């Protein structure tokens, strides 16, 4: 080798050796060769797990370094076990992500037993399932074809899922805010059984999620088999799922007092918080920003929307890190509304108006 070439080669080696630590040549991406564990606050195979599975390949695609991503299932305590674990017991290195229950914020704000975390200290990466619409309806034969008739009919029989289920809470909330007279709310009906009971005349009313109405019971709407009375939407500006739903009064507009409006806003916020992906407090900002950006890119990928719909039979309705953080921040937390909400979610009779 000629002397000039040797000197040039040596200088090149020196320049590489002394490149700044953040340069591409000096340092591989942080996540290269690493494994990210998603602490999945539910059992394997359910609807929530399918939503995580739909996202994982796209999250991996957009994290520089293409890390391996695995799930660790931790059902228990309505999601509180996984949240407590993530908050207190895991490393803060960006390699542990939580996919937590939709009750994360609800349990904390309502003071549920076993909550050992602070929702304001988690780092929110995004959420994949944040939109919901619930409709209060009655069977045609009950003759309750106006909201006024529904309000004036004592003891309307309303089928719901078991105590604590979202449909149970929603039915009691809507009955309370609409001012029904001593409604007879009957828990214990899984979704299809409640629908069948309504059609058989065993009960007078039901609360159904909007997607179920347009996917499984479309004939109820198209054959005019039910009377529709009100809808509660999260977020409130969600587009209607069917033309008949577009004409319904939104529950917030039926709230007669500031307290009731805050009550509905609390419910709406709990639903909109959806199924959040979070990092434990004090995760380094650099890793958090990498994951937030990867989540944003995954949500924007048309292939993710297609995979999500294939696995879940739903359209994704994601929130970015900034959007879900805002939802959490703005949840009503005043003691009066918390006390009332706890009464509505309980198995006790609805509070008097």
Does residue 137 sit in the same domain as residue 125? Answer: no
pLDDT at residue 101, rounded to an integer: 84
Does residue 209 sit in the same domain as residue 150? Answer: yes
Whether residue 279 has a cis bond before it, omega within 30° of 0: no
Question: In terms of residue numbers, what domain contains 203?
Answer: 132-270+337-345
Measured at the CA of 132, the angle between CA 130 and CA 134, to 5 degrees, comes to 160
pLDDT at residue 117, rounded to an integer: 97
How far from chain centre, in Å, is Cα 173? 18
Question: Which ranges of the chain would DSSP assign to H, the alpha helix?
Answer: 3-17, 47-62, 80-88, 104-109, 147-152, 166-178, 191-200, 210-215, 218-222, 251-254, 258-273, 285-300, 302-312, 321-329, 335-345
CATH number at residue 89: 3.40.190.150
Coil/strand/helix, residue 279: strand
Does this model's pTM top 0.75?
yes
Does residue 240 sit in the same domain as residue 155? Answer: yes
pLDDT at residue 65, rounded to an integer: 95
Decide if 138 contacts 201 (C-beta within 8 A): no
Whether 266 maps to a domain, the answer reads yes
Q: What are phi and psi of 220, to 5 degrees?
A: -60, -40
pLDDT at residue 165, rounded to an integer: 83
Does residue 205 sit in the same domain as residue 263? Answer: yes
Does residue 241 sit in the same domain as residue 144? Answer: yes
> Measured between alpha carbons, how far is 303 from 315 in angstroms, rounded to an integer?
12
Closest to 50 in 3D by CA, of 61, 42, 39: 42
CA distances to 106, 131, 146, 180, 241 from 268, in Å: 11, 10, 25, 21, 18
Decide if 69 contacts 38 (C-beta within 8 A): yes
Sheet order of strands, 276-279 included? 68-73, 35-40, 96-99, 276-279, 123-127, 319-320
> Measured between alpha carbons, how far is 235 from 352 in angstroms, rounded to an integer?
28
pLDDT at residue 54, rounded to an integer: 96
Decide if 69 contacts 35 (C-beta within 8 A): yes
Write the CB contacts of 221 (distance below 8 Å, at least 6 apart in sequence): 213, 214, 242, 244
Q: What are phi and psi of 113, to 5 degrees?
A: -65, 145
CATH number at residue 227: 3.40.190.10
Measured at the CA of 278, the angle between CA 274 and CA 346, to 5 degrees, comes to 45
**DSSP β-ladder status, 205-209 and 157-159:** parallel
pLDDT at residue 273, rounded to an integer: 86
Measured at the CA of 41, the angle between CA 37 and CA 44, to 5 degrees, comes to 85
pLDDT at residue 120, rounded to an integer: 96
- Give the count of domains, the chain: 2
pLDDT at residue 313, rounded to an integer: 80
Whether 15 maps to a domain, the answer reads no
Does residue 293 sit in the same domain as residue 247? Answer: no
> Measured between alpha carbons, how far is 260 from 299 in angstroms, rounded to an integer?
34
Does residue 167 sit in the same domain as residue 115? Answer: no
Residues of the chain with pLDDT under 70: 1-26
Whether 238 maps to a domain, the answer reads yes
If you search the block for the tokens 């937390």, which residue do you land on?
A: 333
CA distances to 15, 24, 169, 284, 353 from 21, in Å: 12, 9, 54, 17, 65
């Amino acid at each position: 080798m000629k002397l000039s070439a040797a000197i040039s080669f040596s200088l090149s080696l020196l320049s590489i050796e002394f490149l700044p630590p953040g340069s591409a040549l000096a340092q591989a991406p942080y996540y290269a060769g690493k494994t990210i564990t998603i602490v999945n606050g539910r059992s394997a195979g359910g609807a929530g797990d399918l939503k995580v599975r739909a996202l994982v390949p796209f999250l991996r695609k957009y994290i520089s370094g293409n890390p391996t991503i695995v799930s660790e299932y931790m059902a228990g305590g309505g999601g509180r076990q996984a949240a407590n674990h993530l908050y207190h017991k895991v490393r803060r290195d960006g390699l542990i992500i939580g996919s937590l229950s939709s009750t994360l914020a609800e349990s904390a704000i309502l003071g549920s037993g076993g909550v050992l975390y602070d929702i304001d200290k988690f780092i929110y990466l995004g959420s994949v399932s944040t939109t919901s619409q619930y409709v209060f309806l009655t069977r045609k034969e009950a003759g309750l074809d106006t909201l006024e008739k529904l309000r004036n009919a004592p003891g309307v029989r309303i089928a719901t899922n078991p105590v604590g289920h979202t449909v149970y809470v929603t039915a009691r909330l809507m009955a309370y805010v609409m001012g029904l007279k001593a409604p007879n709310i009957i828990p214990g009906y899984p979704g299809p059984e409640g629908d069948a009971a309504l059609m058989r005349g065993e009960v007078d009313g039901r609360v159904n999620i909007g997607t179920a109405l347009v996917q499984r019971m479309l004939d109820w709407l198209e054959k005019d088999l039910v009377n529709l009375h009100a809808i509660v939407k999260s977020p409130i500006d969600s587009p209607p799922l069917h033309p008949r739903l577009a004409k319904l009064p939104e529950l917030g507009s039926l709230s007669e007092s500031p307290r009731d409006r805050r009550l509905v806003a609390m419910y709406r916020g709990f639903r909109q918080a959806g199924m959040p992906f979070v990092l434990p407090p004090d995760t380094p900002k650099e890793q958090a920003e990498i994951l937030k950006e990867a989540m944003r890119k995954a949500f924007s990928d048309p292939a993710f929307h297609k995979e999500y719909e294939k696995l879940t039979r739903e359209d994704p309705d994601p929130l970015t890190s900034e959007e879900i953080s805002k939802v959490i921040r703005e949840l009503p937390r005043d003691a009066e509304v918390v006390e009332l909400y706890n009464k509505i979610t309980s198995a006790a009779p609805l509070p008097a108006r």
